[in-house]
A and B are shown apart, each in its own frame.
Chain A
C-alpha cells in the first residue's frame, strides 16, 4: 500500500484526473486504427490530420465503454451528452481545438471505494467525459526542429475526475490502483501505463488542520506510474508545506513531474493559463443514448472486483488475503478460476500454489500473469498429479520449475525425470518392513515411548524409496506397524 508519511499539523487534500485510453479498434471521430507503436503518421486519416473540410463522426463504441465505466461506479449516465471544443494552439493538436465534453459529460457523479490503513473509504468521482487525444511532438532527432506524429491524435480518452477526497499520497495510490483494476476488469482500457494508456494529473493542496477553506492547489502533470504518483504528490506536499512555513504562498499553477529528478517544476501559472473558449461543437449533434442501449450494457457488465472477492471467499473458502490477491486484476482472477475449473485439486490448495509458487516466479522475472510461461492448463495438469498422488509437493515444485523453463508437458516431465511417486501399498509396505527389520534399536526406543523417533523411520523409508514413496501412505503404514 506504500508508505504513509505524516505531516503533523497539516491536512493534505488531493484530487486526481485520470486519462484512460479506451480500447476501441478505431479512433473516436475517424475510422483510423488506434494501434500503438507504428511508423509515425501512418495511423492518421484526413480527419485526424485536420485537413480543410473534414468532419468528425462519433464512435459509438467509445460511448459504450464510457457507459460501462459509469455503470460500474454507480454513476449517473447523461443520456444526452454534448461534445464541446476546447480551443488552443499546439502543433500536435491538428484542428487547433480538442473535441472534449464540458457542460454535459457522458458520465456524471459516481463513487469508488478504496481500502486504506484506516479501513474502507469512499472516493467521490465528479464526472468522466469523452475526448480525443492529441498527437505527439518529438523534440529529439530533428536538429533543433520538432517532429509531429499524429498516430495518437483522435485516440479516445475517458477523463475521470475525482473529488478532492484523498488525504495522503498513499490514498491517492490506492484510488489509482482501484481505478486501474476497474478499467482493466471492464476491458475498456489495456491499463498500460508505460505506453500512456492510463495516466494521471494530481491536484494537491495543503492546509493547517484547523483551517476550513482549502489551500491553493497545484496541478502536477505527466505522471505515468503508481510509484511516480506517490513520489510526485509527496514532493508537492513537502514543497508546499516548506513554502508556507517559510512565510511564502502557494501559487495556483500547472507543474510538470520529472521522473528522473523526482520533482515537479512550474509549467505555467494561472495568469498564463489558456482561455480554452469552450463551446458546443457544431459538427456533432448532442449524443442521445437510448435507454435500451444503457440497459444492454448494464446486463453485459462483467463481475466487478468486489463481487468477485466475495464470491471467492464464499465459493472457494479462501481467506481474505488470498481472495484480495487473486482478484487484484482480472487476468489473475481468470487464471485462478481456469485452474480451479480444470483441475481436481482443492480450490484452497490451488490458491496456495498460485499465490506461492507462481507469483514468486512471476515476481522474480518481472512478468505479468498474462506472460506466464506456465499456462493455466499446464498448471491444472500439475495440480491434478498432486491430487492423484502421482507427485508429492516437493516433486511438484520440481515439475513446475521444468514447466517454467518450457521443458515439456507435465506428464512428459514426470516421465523424463523419473518423478513418479510410489503409491502402491505393497511396494511401500515391503520398504517399511525392510527398514523396521534393519533398525531394531530404534524400534525398541519407540516401544519405550519415544515418539520423536517416528520421524527417523519416515526419513529412512523416503531415503530407501529415493523420495518417491507417498508420504501419507508411509506415515499410515509406519503407524500401523509400530503400534502392532
Chain B
C-alpha cells in the first residue's frame, strides 16, 4: 500500500476493515518512517517491539470483530503523558531516567480503544516554550522547512503528524501548545474545554490551564479521537461529570446562518499581512458557505499574555517542586547536604526557560507580592472570561488567525522571551477562559509555509466547533497539503 502515511484515520479505518492492510503493516510502515526521518527529532522514545506487540493484539481483535472504530490505528503520545513501563521525560533532563509505573488516563483510554502506541514525541521542557527549542532532547525541525521551528510545546507531535510519521498524536495545550504547532506544521489541533479530558497522568505545567487534545490531519479525525479521550475520571477532581460524547455524529450539519465573530483587535497590530490575507480568504469561504460575520470586542484579551505569564508560572513553580531528586528523576552525583542536593539536582536537571518560569512564579506568589501579581491576574482572568460570555451573545463562534506569523527560524527568538511569548497572543485567551478552540490549515504563505485558522467556541460546544471545522475542510483542501520532502 502506498501513501498510508498521508491517509486520515477514517481512511486507515477502511483500509483495516477492508483487509487492505493489517495493524502490524501499519505499525511497521510508521516505525520505518520514524526511523528514516529521525533527523526531524520528532520522537524521544520509540519501542518497536512494544508497538508491534500491540499491533498484533489489535489484528487479533479486528479479526474477531472485537475492535472499536480506532482499533489497530497507530498514534504517538506527547512525552508529557505517563506511559506504563516507558520512559516519560516531559522533555527534561530531570526525568531522563523516569520509567512511569502507570498510564495516564488519556493513554489508557486510547489504548483500550485499540490504538497502537508508536512512541513518545519531543516537546518543550515541561511544555514551557513555543518553538520546541527548550527540549533537553534537542530541537525538532519543521517538515515544511527544516530551518524553521515546528512550534511548541507539542512540536514533536505536530512535526510527526505533519511529516506522516504518525497518523495522529496527542498533545497538551496550556497557552496554545497544541494549536500553535498545529498551525506551524499545517495540521488540525484541538484544545477541548477545561475539564473535558482527564489530566491524570499528564505531567502538570499549569493545572488550571492544562488540557490534553488531539492533533490530526482533519477535524473529522480529531473528533474520532476526542470521542475516546473525553469522559469523567474519578482520579481528576477537575474532570467534568459528563455524558459520553459523540462529536463525530455532529459533523454533518450545515453552517448556514452561522454567526462568526471577529475580534477587531486581533486583526490589527502585530499581525503579518500574509497571515491576514489567508485568513480573509477563509472568512470569504465561510461566508460563501452561508455564515455571516459580526464584529466583536474582547477588550481584556489585550492583557491575556501578561495575565498568563503570572498565573502559569505561579502554578508551575509549585507543580515542579516534586522534581527534587529525592524519589525519582535526576539527582546530582555529589552534594554536601540536603540543601545542596536540592540545589544541584534542580540546577542540573532544569533548563533555562523552566528556571525562568519557576523564578517568576515563586516571585508572584511571595508574601508581599501575591496581591499585586497573583490576585490581580486572577481578577483579570475573570474579566477575560466575561468578555467571551458577552461576545457569545452576538455570535456562535470566534474566528482569528492562530498565530501572528508563520513558523519562524530556529534560534530567531531564543534570546528574547517576550517575543517568544507573544506567539501565543491569540491562543492564550481560550485557556484563561477554559473554552474549546481549534486550529486548522487555512493555506500557505508565498514561501509555502502553513497558516492556521483559529476558532474558539462557547464552553462545551466542541461539537459545534468540530462541525464548522469539518464543513470548512469539506469545502477546502488545505488540510490535504503535505510537505514535499516527506510525501
- Nearest A residue to B328 via CB reads A51
Main secondary structure on chain B at its contact with chain A? loop
Q: Tell me the bound Cα distance from A96 to B345 in angstroms.
A: 14
CB of A53 within 8 A of CB of B204, answer yes
CB of B321 within 8 A of CB of A52, answer no
CB of A58 within 8 A of CB of B370, answer no
Contacts of B81 in A (CB 8 A): 53
CB of B238 within 8 A of CB of A283, answer yes
CB-CB under 8 A for A53 and B104, given A277-B318, A279-B370: yes
Is B448 engaged at the interface, CB distance under 8 Å to the other chain?
A: no
Is B387 engaged at the interface, CB distance under 8 Å to the other chain?
A: no
CB of A55 within 8 A of CB of B199, answer yes
CB of B82 within 8 A of CB of A91, answer no
Tell me the chain A residues, 41-84 only, with Cβ under 8 Å from chain B: 46, 49-58
Main secondary structure on chain A at its contact with chain B? loop
Tell me the chain A residues, 130-181 only, with Cβ under 8 Å from chain B: 146, 148
Mark B184-223 against chain A: 1 for CB-CB distance below 8 A, else 0.
Answer: 0000000000000001111110111000000000000000
CB of B322 within 8 A of CB of A52, answer yes
Mark B311-340 against chain A: 1 for CB-CB distance below 8 A, else 0.
Answer: 000110110111110111000000000100
Is A94 engaged at the interface, CB distance under 8 Å to the other chain?
A: yes
CB of B374 within 8 A of CB of A279, answer yes
Q: Tell me the bound Cα distance from A284 to B362 in angstroms.
A: 20
Q: How far is the CB of A352 from chain B (nearest CB, A)?
A: 55
Q: How many residues of A contact B (CB 8 A)?
A: 29
CB of A56 within 8 A of CB of B318, answer no
Q: Tell me the bound Cα distance from A148 to B324 in angstroms.
A: 14
Is B237 engaged at the interface, CB distance under 8 Å to the other chain?
A: yes
Is B101 engaged at the interface, CB distance under 8 Å to the other chain?
A: yes
Contacts of A7 in B (CB 8 A): none
- Nearest B residue to A88 via CB reads B321
CB of B234 within 8 A of CB of A96, answer no
Is B102 engaged at the interface, CB distance under 8 Å to the other chain?
A: yes
Mark B74-104 against chain A: 1 for CB-CB distance below 8 A, else 0.
Answer: 0000000110000010100001001011101
Q: How far is the CB of B442 from chain A (nearest CB, A)?
A: 33
Contacts of B98 in A (CB 8 A): 52
CB of B236 within 8 A of CB of A94, answer no
Q: How far is the CB of B206 from chain A (nearest CB, A)?
A: 8
CB of B101 within 8 A of CB of A46, answer yes
CB-CB under 8 A for A282 and B208, given A52-B203, A94-B322, A96-B321: yes
Q: Tell me the bound Cα distance from A20 to B41 in angstroms.
A: 53
CB of B318 within 8 A of CB of A97, answer yes
CB of A285 within 8 A of CB of B318, answer no
Q: How far is the CB of B181 from chain A (nearest CB, A)?
A: 21
Contacts of B200 in A (CB 8 A): 53-55
Looking at B104, B322, B338, which has the most chain A CB atoms within 10 Å of its CB?
Answer: B322
Is A27 engaged at the interface, CB distance under 8 Å to the other chain?
A: no
Is B235 engaged at the interface, CB distance under 8 Å to the other chain?
A: yes
Contacts of A283 in B (CB 8 A): 204, 207, 237-238
Q: How far is the CB of B321 from chain A (nearest CB, A)?
A: 2
Compute the total of residue contacts between A and B using a CB distance below 8 Å. 100
CB of A87 within 8 A of CB of B328, answer no
Contacts of A54 in B (CB 8 A): 200-201, 235
Q: Tell me the bound Cα distance from A271 to B374 in angstroms.
A: 24
CB of B203 within 8 A of CB of A89, answer no
Q: Tell me the bound Cα distance from A50 to B329 in angstroms.
A: 12
Q: How far is the CB of A81 from chain B (nearest CB, A)?
A: 14
Is B267 engaged at the interface, CB distance under 8 Å to the other chain?
A: no
Residue from B95, B235, B370 within 8 A of A55 (CB atoms):
B235
Q: Tell me the bound Cα distance from A46 to B327 in angstroms.
A: 11
Q: Tell me the bound Cα distance from A144 to B202 in angstroms.
A: 36
CB of B101 within 8 A of CB of A51, answer yes
CB of B234 within 8 A of CB of A57, answer yes
Tell me the chain A residues, 309-354 only, with Cβ under 8 Å from chain B: none
Is A275 engaged at the interface, CB distance under 8 Å to the other chain?
A: yes
Q: Tell me the bound Cα distance from A285 to B237 in angstroms.
A: 7
Mark B6-33 against chain A: 1 for CB-CB distance below 8 A, else 0.
Answer: 0000000000000000000000000000
Mark A268-310 against chain B: 1 for CB-CB distance below 8 A, else 0.
Answer: 0000000101110011110000000000000000000000000
Is A95 engaged at the interface, CB distance under 8 Å to the other chain?
A: yes
Is B366 engaged at the interface, CB distance under 8 Å to the other chain?
A: yes
Q: Tell me the bound Cα distance from A58 to B82 in angstroms.
A: 22
Contacts of A468 in B (CB 8 A): none
Is B342 engaged at the interface, CB distance under 8 Å to the other chain?
A: yes
Q: How far is the CB of B307 from chain A (nearest CB, A)?
A: 15
Is A85 engaged at the interface, CB distance under 8 Å to the other chain?
A: yes
CB of A97 within 8 A of CB of B321, answer yes
Contacts of B101 in A (CB 8 A): 46, 51
Q: Tell me the bound Cα distance from A279 to B235 in angstroms.
A: 22
Mark B341-362 against chain A: 1 for CB-CB distance below 8 A, else 0.
Answer: 0100000000000000000001
Residue from A55, A56, A85, A277 within 8 A of B367 (CB atoms):
A277
Mark B228-247 against chain A: 1 for CB-CB distance below 8 A, else 0.
Answer: 00000011111000000000
Is B383 engaged at the interface, CB distance under 8 Å to the other chain?
A: no
Q: How far is the CB of B234 from chain A (nearest CB, A)?
A: 7
Q: Tell me the bound Cα distance from A51 to B90 in angstroms.
A: 13
CB of B104 within 8 A of CB of A89, answer no
Q: Tell me the bound Cα distance from A56 to B90 in angstroms.
A: 20
CB of B338 within 8 A of CB of A91, answer yes
Q: Tell me the bound Cα distance from A50 to B203 in angstroms.
A: 11
Contacts of B208 in A (CB 8 A): 282
Looking at A46, A52, A55, A97, which has the most chain B CB atoms within 10 Å of its CB?
Answer: A52
CB of B237 within 8 A of CB of A56, answer yes
Q: Tell me the bound Cα distance from A94 to B321 in angstroms.
A: 9
Is B365 engaged at the interface, CB distance under 8 Å to the other chain?
A: yes
Tell me the chain B residues, 93-146 only, with Cβ under 8 Å from chain A: 95, 98, 100-102, 104
- Nearest B residue to A47 via CB reads B235
Q: How far is the CB of A93 from chain B (nearest CB, A)?
A: 9
CB of B322 within 8 A of CB of A277, answer no
- Nearest A residue to B98 via CB reads A52
CB of B324 within 8 A of CB of A89, answer yes
Q: How far is the CB of A198 from chain B (nearest CB, A)?
A: 29
Q: How far is the CB of B1 from chain A (nearest CB, A)?
A: 37
Q: Tell me the bound Cα distance from A97 to B237 in angstroms.
A: 18
Contacts of B237 in A (CB 8 A): 55-58, 283-285
Q: Tell me the bound Cα distance from A94 to B81 in angstroms.
A: 20
CB of A52 within 8 A of CB of B82, answer yes
CB-CB under 8 A for A279 and B322, given A52-B90, A53-B200, A55-B200: no
Q: How far is the CB of A71 from chain B (nearest CB, A)?
A: 25
Contacts of A57 in B (CB 8 A): 234-237
CB of A279 within 8 A of CB of B314, answer yes
Q: Tell me the bound Cα distance from A302 to B234 in angstroms.
A: 32
Residue from B100, B327, B342, B362 within 8 A of A277 (CB atoms):
B362
Contacts of A46 in B (CB 8 A): 101-102
Residue from A56, A96, A146, A282 within 8 A of B322 (CB atoms):
A96
CB-CB under 8 A for A94 and B202, given A52-B95, A58-B237: no
- Nearest A residue to B103 via CB reads A53
Q: Tell me the bound Cα distance from A97 to B207 in angstroms.
A: 15
Mark B287-325 against chain A: 1 for CB-CB distance below 8 A, else 0.
Answer: 000000000000000000000000000110110111110
- Nearest A residue to B204 via CB reads A53
Contacts of A53 in B (CB 8 A): 81-82, 100, 104, 200-204
Contacts of B204 in A (CB 8 A): 53, 283
Contacts of B342 in A (CB 8 A): 89
Q: Tell me the bound Cα distance from A206 to B400 in angstroms.
A: 66
Q: Return the 7 tightest CB-CB contacts between A and B, nearest first.
A: A96-B321, A282-B207, A282-B208, A277-B365, A53-B201, A50-B322, A53-B82
Chain A positions within 8 Å of B, measured between CB atoms, are: 46, 49-58, 85, 87, 89, 91, 94-97, 146, 148, 275, 277-279, 282-285
Subset of 28 A-B contacts with CB under 8 Å = A49-B327, A52-B88, A52-B90, A52-B95, A52-B98, A52-B100, A53-B104, A53-B200, A53-B201, A54-B201, A54-B235, A57-B235, A85-B318, A87-B318, A91-B324, A95-B321, A95-B322, A148-B326, A277-B317, A277-B362, A277-B370, A279-B315, A279-B370, A282-B207, A282-B208, A283-B204, A285-B237, A285-B238
